[in-house]
């Protein structure tokens, strides 16, 4: 069954700001997270961005400039780190200590609509706070955009700042407090479509544009394949297994913001009367995490968006090492691809029965048999440059990444890319028909291939 989605209406969210005492006549203006808007002005990631900090060399914290792929940057109380304790995509990232900062020494000329920054805690250091400033007069004065960000995870996360700046602009990132901070993949989307990148604007699009793999419907007569369409994602619920068969969602910069992770695990009250409704306590002391299918960090444009990812219909019993290490690493890589100017269509789920959590052994179910424990988890990501008419832009050369991981504590013996497989193989394991809205001649090529592209 093909379900046609209506265009979601525009939402603009103004984020409150905190004051910060810094130099150079600093003022603060709010950043807004723009959702569901197809703007008349096309915008694009500037040519050369994201800045990955892979080029150049700076091994001391002392204030100095360094030439990177995008231009000259000043690193004050900051260096280019390449140790195992530096959180990074690739071989290097910026490491900032004390109240250090990194500053562009060049202007981009087409303004700024959005900036995204990957950030993580260095080593075992304490959490830190930082903020983003911009200048339209070559660094004479600076204005903060968006709220201060708190970095508390050793895994790289992506912070996104949305603004409306025209003309010449440069950026400065300031560490405000706490332990050492890693920064990577600094990306800028222009504000006029003349920044040299592809002529596109990130938007929120149909979460199930690539197809309905199990033919789920909203009929209660099919309780094990019941379609639930939420603004943030779409899923097929399996009442007998007490969890989703699959969850499908769209990821672009339009879904990103700086809302905090709510950790507000909640039963899904939209399930039909008589359906099993999982509660968070059903996972307590089971040895399994409440593992997201659609990740919290893929939906942080607003508190509402983030809270929806904590509905228990989006949760599955995942071995902690899988959920927190290997599975999460692929989630982060997908957001890295997004920050590089792409949009992704992602679908994920579990199959089989019998996983091994932190208590050891094999567990077939939890919640007195009401929630199945899958033996494997899979995910498929279709990667496209930001644009419109997405299904029609899928070709035989479109990058599609499919992974299939065992639901065990030993899974992190390998990095996520070890578990790459083909879409065809996941179809065989699950019985689903993925990417069914893509022409069959294209499907046959991209579904048979195993991705061999970059992993950072």
pLDDT digits 0-9 by tens, 261-288:
999 999 999 999 999 999 999 999 999 9
Cα–Cα dist 209/118, whole Å: 28
Cβ-based neighbours of 449, under 8 Å, separated by 6 or more: 400, 422
Among 161, 189, 217, give the residue marking a domain's end.
189
Is position 453 within any domain? no
- Per-residue pLDDT at 114: 87
What is the reported pLDDT for 157? 82
Q: What confidence score (pLDDT) does residue 162 get?
A: 86
Same domain? For 102 and 162 the reply is: yes
Residue 456 forms part of a structural domain: no
What is the rounded average pLDDT for all residues in the chain? 89
Distances (CA, A) of 230 to 185, 274, 379: 30, 20, 19
For a pLDDT cut of 90, what percent of the chain falls above it?
77
Residues 416 and 307 in one domain: yes
CB atoms within 10 A of CB 334: 20
Tell whether the model's pLDDT for residue 29 goes beyond 50: no
For residues 226 and 220, the answer to whether their CB atoms sit within 8 Å is: yes
Q: Do 345 and 261 form a contact (C-beta atoms < 8 A)?
A: no
- Helix (H/G/I), strand (E/B), else coil: 264: coil
Tokens of residue 305, six digits: 């968006």
Instruction: Report pLDDT for 28.
Output: 35
DSSP label at residue 335: H
CA distances from 334 to 140, 273, 280, 402 (A): 37, 36, 27, 12
Single residue among 189, 213, 248 that ends a domain in this structure: 189
CATH number of the domain that 270 lies in?
Answer: 3.40.570.10
Dump pLDDT digits (tens) for 285-321: 999 999 999 999 999 999 999 999 999 999 999 999 9
Q: Are residues 142 and 230 in the same domain?
A: no
| Band (43; pLDDT cuts 50, 70, 90) | low
pLDDT bucket at 193, cuts 50 / 70 / 90:
low
- DSSP string of 91-115? S-EEEEEEEEEEEESS-BSS-EEEE
Q: Which domain holds residue 326?
A: 226-446
pLDDT tens profile 334-381 = 999 999 889 999 999 999 999 999 999 999 999 999 999 999 999 999
- 293-308 burial by CB neighbour count: b if 16+ within 10 A, else e? bbbbbbbbbbeebbbb
> Which residue from 335, 268, 264, 336 is spatially nearest to 303, judged by alpha carbons?
264
Alpha carbon distance 161, 188 (integer Å): 10
Would you say residue 89 lies in a domain?
Answer: yes
pLDDT of residue 20: 34
Helix (H, G, I), strand (E, B) or coil at 347: strand
Helix, strand, or coil (residue 54): coil
- What's the pLDDT score for residue 198? 54
Cα angle 180, 186, 189 (rounded to 5 degrees) comes to: 150
Residues 319 and 382 in one domain: yes
Strands 143-151 and 27-29: parallel
Instruction: Please check the confidence at residue 35 and state whether its pLDDT lies above 80.
Output: no
Between the alpha carbon of residue 450 and those of residues 128, 225, 326, 430, the distances in Å are 39, 28, 18, 17
pLDDT, tens digit, for every residue of 150-177?
999 988 888 888 899 999 999 999 999 9
- Cα 419 to Cα 369: distance, rounded to the nearest angstrom: 29
Residues 217 and 88: their CA atoms lie apart, in Å, by: 42
22 within some domain: yes
Q: Is residue 221 part of a domain?
A: no
Question: Are residue 185 and residue 237 in the same domain, yes or no?
Answer: no
Is 75 found in the same domain as 179? yes
- Tokens representing 118 are 């990957």
pLDDT band at 19 (very low <50, low <70, confident <90, very high): very low
Confidence of residue 40 (pLDDT cuts 50, 70, 90): very low
Least confident of 40-49, 267-276, 435-444: 40-49
Residues whose CB is less than 8 angstroms from the CB of residue 12 and which lie 6 or more positions away in sequence, other chains included: 32, 33, 34, 35
Same domain for 98 and 45 = yes
Q: Are 17 and 144 in contact (CB under 8 A)?
A: yes
Beta carbons of 210 and 252 less than 8 angstroms apart? no
- Name the phi and psi angles at 126, rounded to 5: -70, 165
Residue 1 has pLDDT above 90, yes or no: no
CATH of the domain at 90: 2.60.120.260
Q: Are 378 and 426 in contact (CB under 8 A)?
A: yes
**Is residue 138 in some structural domain?**
yes
Task: For residue 321, indicate whether it is catalytic.
Answer: no
Longest alpha-carbon distance in the chain: 67
9 — pLDDT class (breaks 50, 70, 90): very low
124 forms beta bridges with none
Of 172, 189, 206, the one marking the end of a domain is: 189
Tell whether 235 and 102 lie within a shared domain.
no
Statement to judge: residues 256 and 179 lie in one domain: no
Is residue 452 situated within a structural domain? no
3-state secondary structure of 409: helix
In whole angstroms, give the CA distance from residue 224 to residue 112.
47
- What's the distance, Cα to Cα, between the start and end of the chain in Å? 37
Angle at the Cα of 434 from the Cα atoms of 428 and 435, rounded to 5 degrees: 145
Does 202 map to a domain? no
Residues 116 and 165 in one domain: yes
Beta bridge partners of 156: none
CA distance 165 to 29: 11
Rounded CA-CA distance 222/298 in Å is 29
- Span 419-426, average pLDDT: 98
The number of domains in the chain is 2
395 & 343 share domain: yes
Catalytic residue, from 292, 321, 376, 456: name it: 292
> In terms of domains, do 160 and 241 share one?
no
- Token pair of 333, please? 């890589």
């Amino acid at each position: 069954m093909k379900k046609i989605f209506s265009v979601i209406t525009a939402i603009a969210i103004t984020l409150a700001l905190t004051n910060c005492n810094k130099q150079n006549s600093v003022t603060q203006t709010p950043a807004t997270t723009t959702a569901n808007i197809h703007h008349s002005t096309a915008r694009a990631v500037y040519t050369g961005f994201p800045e990955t900090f892979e080029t150049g060399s700076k091994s001391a914290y002392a204030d100095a400039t360094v030439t990177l792929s995008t231009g000259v940057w000043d690193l004050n109380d900051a260096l280019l780190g390449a140790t195992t304790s530096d959180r990074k995509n690739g071989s290097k990232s910026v490491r900032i200590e004390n109240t250090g900062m990194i500053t562009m020494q060049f202007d981009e000329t087409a303004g700024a609509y959005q900036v995204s920054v990957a950030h993580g805690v260095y080593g075992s250091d304490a959490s830190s706070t930082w903020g983003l400033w911009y200048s339209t007069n070559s660094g004479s004065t600076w204005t903060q955009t968006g709220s201060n960000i708190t970095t508390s995870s050793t895994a790289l996360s992506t912070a996104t700042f949305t603004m409306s700046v025209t003309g010449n602009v440069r950026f400065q990132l300031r560490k405000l407090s706490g332990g050492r901070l890693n920064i990577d993949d600094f990306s800028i989307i222009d504000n006029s479509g003349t920044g040299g990148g592809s002529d596109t604007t990130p938007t929120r699009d149909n979460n199930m544009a690539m197809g309905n793999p199990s033919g789920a419907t909203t009929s209660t007569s099919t309780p094990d394949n019941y379609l639930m369409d939420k603004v943030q994602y779409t899923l097929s619920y399996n009442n007998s297994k007490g969890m989703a068969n699959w969850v499908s969602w769209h990821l672009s910069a339009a879904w990103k913001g700086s809302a905090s992770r709510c950790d507000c695990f909640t039963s899904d009250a939209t399930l039909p009367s008589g359906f099993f409704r999982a509660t968070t306590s059903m996972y307590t002391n089971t040895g399994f995490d409440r593992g997201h299918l659609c990740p919290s960090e893929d939906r942080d444009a607003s508190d509402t968006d983030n809270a929806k990812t904590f509905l228990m219909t989006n949760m599955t019993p995942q071995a902690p090492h899988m959920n927190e290490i290997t599975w999460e690493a692929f989630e982060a890589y997908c957001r890295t691809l997004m920050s590089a100017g792409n949009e992704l269509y992602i679908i994920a789920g579990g199959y089989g029965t019998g996983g091994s959590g932190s208590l050891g052994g094999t567990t077939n179910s939890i919640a007195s048999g009401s929630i199945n424990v899958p033996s494997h988890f899979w995910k498929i990501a279709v990667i496209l440059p930001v644009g419109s008419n997405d299904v029609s832009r899928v070709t035989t050369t479109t990058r599609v990444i499919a992974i299939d991981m065992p639901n065990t504590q030993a899974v992190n013996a390998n990095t996520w890319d070890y578990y790459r497989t083909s879409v065809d193989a996941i179809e065989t394991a699950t019985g689903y028909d993925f990417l069914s809205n893509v022409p069959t001649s294209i499907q046959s090529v991209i579904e048979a291939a195993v991705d061999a592209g970059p992993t950072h």
